[in-house]
Each structure stands twice: as structure tokens, then as C-alpha cells.
């Protein structure tokens, strides 16, 4: 299915979750989730006395509430410091997305977690053909899950020129690429990492700092301030 948040699309699988699962994910009590559902404050469907929640709708709901989103990300122990290394931060100079994606996929494939470089490149390009991973504001988050990846890994590309052929809803050319490759069984971690970047990059001052950065170390510091 398509995951939409503020005009930004990701292709993901949907899941139906229970009150207990939502409470665990959001790190709140089941009573709190039940109260939200009763009041219509969280997207939910009721069947008899049982409440059900679509993961994609709850993700969208959490994105619109920074306090909830921050609580989820921190409680799940995901921090940018654990995802980013300077060796996988590069500066790109490609006008077209295919060239930029191949260049960045080649960088991420140097990580020991990636066991099949060519499969990764092929799948990144195939995913992009299915639907653009550009999310607006000059950002693209190409992402893939593969059995040939043993653990989640990230590479960052700062483009020194406008990448003009991403299909972007706001028509802003892409300058920032955050590529995520995860193992096939890392569904939750994968979604949480997408959410983390999506939330962090809403800050226009951060985006400008990244574009103006002169070294991988400056990019790293800007992201971790």
C-alpha cells in the first residue's frame, strides 16, 4: 500500500495492530490508547468491543504530533548517532537521479552489512521506477529491504547540483539523499528509521546547514546537534 504523510509517499506493507501493540509501540498505557480511541483522537476501527489500528494510519498520526513521535523514537532506542558514519557521507555532482542513486548505492554497498552490491543497486533503481522516493523540500529517501543485507545501514549524499528528474510534489529539485538498506526481516526498525529521518529533516535550518556543509564531518555534526 502507499504510506502518505504531508504529501509524501512511501511504499510499505500495512499491518493491523491491537491496543496492546499500539501501547507498546507508543510507550503509553493501554488505558491511554483506549481513551484516545474512544474520543476519536487516534485513527482506529471498532469491531464489537475490540479496537483495531492500521499501522500506516498510526504512523501518519504520530508524524503530525512531534511530542508523540519523539517519544516513540527515543523509547525504541533509535538515535542518528548509531545510524550515521562519516565514511558513508559523500558529496554528489549528478544532474540525474539514476546517476546519483547508483553513486550513493555504491557507497552504501561498501558497508559489511551489504553482501550483494549489484542486487542492492538494482533494487534501489527498481524501487525508484515504481514510485519516487522524493518527499519534498529537496529531500529523497531511497530505501530497500533485502535478504542479502544483514543489518540496517545508511548512506547520505549531499548533491552540489540540483537533481532535476525526481518526481516531486512540491517541484523542488532534490539536493539531499538519505539511502537506507535493511534486512528483509527488519520491518519495524526500517519504518522507524524512515520516520526518524522524516521527522528530523522537517527543520529547514537543518536542511540548509547540510547543503552548505563542506565536509562529511560537518554533515555529521549538523545532523547530531
Domains of the chain, earliest start first? 2-75 (1.10.1660.10), 80-224 (3.40.930.10)
Q: What is the mean pLDDT of residues 123-145?
A: 93
Cα dihedral 193→209→99→199 (10° resolution): 20
Range of lowest pLDDT (7-11, 41-45, 95-99, 132-136): 7-11
User: Whole-angstrom Cα distance, residue 172 to residue 169?
Assistant: 8
Please report which confidence band the pLDDT of residue 29 belongs to, taking 50, 70 and 90 as the band edges: confident
Chain-wide mean pLDDT for the chain? 85
Cell numbers at residue 19, please?
A: 491496543
CA pair distance 9, 4, nearest whole angstrom: 5
**pLDDT range class, residue 123, cuts 50, 70, 90:** very high
pLDDT at 72: 54
Tell me the mean pLDDT in the region 34-48. 89
With a cut of 80, say whether residue 53 has pLDDT above it. Answer: yes
Amino acid 59: pLDDT = 76
Which residues have a catalytic role annotated? Answer: 143
Average pLDDT over residues 134-141: 93
The answer to whether 120 and 153 have CB atoms below 8 angstroms apart is no
Section 61-82 average pLDDT? 59
pLDDT in tens, 176-208: 999 999 999 888 888 888 888 888 888 899 999
Amino acid at each position: 500500500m502507499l504510506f502518505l504523510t504531508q504529501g509524501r509517499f512511501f511504499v510499505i506493507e500495512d499491518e493491523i495492530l491491537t491496543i496492546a501493540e499500539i501501547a507498546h509501540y507508543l510507550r503509553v498505557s493501554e488505558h491511554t490508547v483506549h481513551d484516545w480511541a474512544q474520543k476519536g483522537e487516534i485513527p482506529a476501527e471498532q469491531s464489537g468491543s475490540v479496537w483495531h489500528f492500521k499501522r500506516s494510519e498510526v504512523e501518519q498520526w504520530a508524524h503530525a504530533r512531534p511530542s508523540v513521535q519523539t517519544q516513540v523514537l527515543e523509547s525504541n532506542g533509535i538515535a542518528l548517532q548509531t545510524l550515521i558514519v562519516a565514511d558513508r557521507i559523500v558529496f554528489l555532482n549528478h544532474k540525474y537521479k539514476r546517476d546519483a542513486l547508483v553513486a550513493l548505492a555504491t557507497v552504501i554497498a561498501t558497508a559489511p552489512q551489504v553482501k550483494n552490491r549489484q542486487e542492492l543497486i538494482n533494487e534501489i533503481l527498481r524501487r525508484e521506477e515504481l514510485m519516487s522516493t522524493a518527499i519534498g523540500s529537496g529531500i529523497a529517501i531511497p530505501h530497500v529491504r533485502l535478504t542479502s543485507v544483514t543489518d540496517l545501514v545508511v548512506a547520505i549524499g549531499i548533491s552540489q547540483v540540483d537533481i532535476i528528474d525526481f518526481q516531486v510534489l512540491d517541484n523542488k529539485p532534490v539536493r539531499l539523499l538519505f539511502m537506507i538498506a535493511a534486512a528483509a526481516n527488519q520491518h519495524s526498525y526500517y519504518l522507524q528509521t524512515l520516520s526518524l529521518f522524516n521527522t528530523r529533516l522537517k527543520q529547514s535550518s537543518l536542511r540548509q546547514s547540510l547543503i552548505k556543509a563542506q565536509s562529511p564531518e560537518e554533515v555529521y555534526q549538523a545532523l547530531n546537534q
